[in-house]
Amino acid sequence: MGQYVEGMAELRLCRNGGGPYEAERIWEGSKARHGAFLLLDPALQKQTVNVKKMEKLKKKMEWKVTEMMEGDMEAENEKKQKLMERRKHLEQMAAKDLAPLQQCLGPGCVNPTRPGSKYCSDNCGMKLAAKRIYEILPQRIQQWHNSPCIAEEHGKKMLESILREQQDTHTRLKEMECQFHELEAIILRGKQQAVYSDEENIKVITNSVHQIFCVSCGKSISMHVALRHMEHCFAKYECKSSFGSLYPTCIEGATRLFCDVYDPKSQRYCKRLQVLCPEHTKDPKVPDDEVCGCPLVHNVFELTGNFCRLPKRLCIHHYCWEKLRRAEVDLERVRALYKLEELSEREHKVRTAMRNRAGLLALMLHQTVQHDPLTTDLRSRVHN
């Protein structure tokens, strides 16, 4: 069928271009070719068919490549056209913006202003600002000195009171440092006392039948172990809470204040008092022959000059007295340091307000109108 169609196509071509003899000659040639094709080996026939298919595929691929190249060329032409249109639009907008521009406000400048600005350059703006300052600022300074400011007077009074409080706090801190060294001397002198060896009196003191309740856990405990139990119970509950900071303590001249042990889990430094920290400070083991050494008092506050000579392990009235006295002194020192920090912050705020009140920007932006030239003090007075 395919051979017949091919022969008919050749006949049509001959009819269009040549005579009947030409058509007959072509028809005979085609019959000869097709007859030769039919006489070929089947394997050779398949090879010829495959060659034809490959030629068709090559033609299709060449056609697709040409189409893609033409599409890329069209896209590039469109991009170039869009860029040209955008450039023309920007040039038109710039031409429109340049039309209403005004003259630069800089002193002695005749150039047009920049878009969205009053000056042609930053230099012109700085020159105009400097000229305004030189012309306006001397009058404002003179006016500031002629008319007193009530806020300035209040600020000076606050600074004076803050400086007095700082001096008092520094004096108090020095006294607490002296108390710190005195307490250490008293503790050392108490440890040098001889131990009281009367066993009968010691048994009378320690054998107590009175019961009290613990303030932390509420259990009923005996009097001779009450202070010991309460101290351990408080330390157990205190370990459950944490007091930490990201930075260690750095205070000049201060010794033994905060614990400052670094915790890798929370990545913080412990901020309990070093003496009272139950988590990182353990009480030393008390030997049998160590004396209590607590200074005895009369009427609660009057020192008698004597020391408790009972063995430290058996004394039930002065349990951990050294730790508590040291903690009391350290707490007063910490309060004094916090007071100094608060006063320094207040001083900084007051000085900043006073500096900004008479600064360049404030004097240039604000002005007090003095209608009566004879009245220099413009503050309001309360008439009785």
322 CB burial (10 A radius; 0-12, 13-18, 19+): buried
Taking a C-beta distance cutoff of 8 angstroms, is the pair 222, 211 a contact? Answer: yes
The total number of structural domains in the chain stands at: 3
86 and 115 in a single domain? The answer is no
The strand pairing partners of 211, in sequence order, are 222
169 and 304 in a single domain? The answer is yes
333 and 257 in a single domain? The answer is yes
57 and 125 in a single domain? The answer is no
- pTM of the entire structure? 0.55
Residue 269, helix vs strand vs coil: strand
330 and 353 in a single domain? The answer is yes
User: Which structural domain range is residue 353 located in?
Assistant: 153-194+241-359
Virtual CA dihedral for 261, 252, 339, 302, nearest 10 degrees? 90
137 and 177 in a single domain? The answer is no
Q: Specify the residue for token string 């003090």.
A: 377
Taking a C-beta distance cutoff of 8 angstroms, is the pair 106, 128 a contact? Answer: yes
Q: Is residue 266 part of a domain?
A: yes
- Beta-sheet strands, E only, within 232-282: 244-245, 262-263, 268-270
Q: Specify the residue for token string 């005579």.
A: 19
DSSP 312-370: TTT-SSSTTHHHHHHHHHHHHHHHHHHHHHHHHHHHHHHHHHHHHHTSHHHHHH-----
186 and 288 in a single domain? The answer is yes
pLDDT at 171: 92
11 and 54 in a single domain? The answer is yes
pLDDT at 30: 52
pLDDT tens-place values along the chain, 384 residues long: 444 444 444 444 444 454 444 545 554 555 444 444 444 456 555 556 566 677 777 777 777 767 777 767 777 778 888 888 887 777 666 655 554 668 888 888 888 888 888 898 999 999 998 998 888 888 888 877 777 778 888 899 999 999 999 999 999 988 888 888 888 888 888 888 887 765 555 554 555 557 778 777 878 877 777 777 777 787 777 777 777 888 888 777 677 788 888 888 888 888 888 888 877 777 778 777 888 888 888 877 777 888 888 888 778 778 888 888 888 888 898 899 899 999 999 999 999 988 888 778 878 887 777 676 666 665 555 544
Q: Is residue 320 part of a domain?
A: yes
68 and 111 in a single domain? The answer is no
pLDDT at 195: 79
pLDDT at 91: 67
Q: Is residue 384 part of a domain?
A: no
pLDDT at 373: 66
**Half-sphere exposure of residue 361: CA atoms within 13 angstroms, side-chain side:** 2
Q: Is residue 312 part of a domain?
A: yes
Angle between helices 150-191 and 321-357 (to 10 degrees): 160
188 and 304 in a single domain? The answer is yes
Q: Is residue 228 part of a domain?
A: no
Q: Report d(CA 256, CA 327) in Å as an integer.
A: 10
167 and 301 in a single domain? The answer is yes
Q: Is residue 113 part of a domain?
A: yes
114 and 181 in a single domain? The answer is no
Q: Is residue 218 part of a domain?
A: no
The strand pairing partners of 221, in sequence order, are 212
Q: Is residue 125 part of a domain?
A: yes
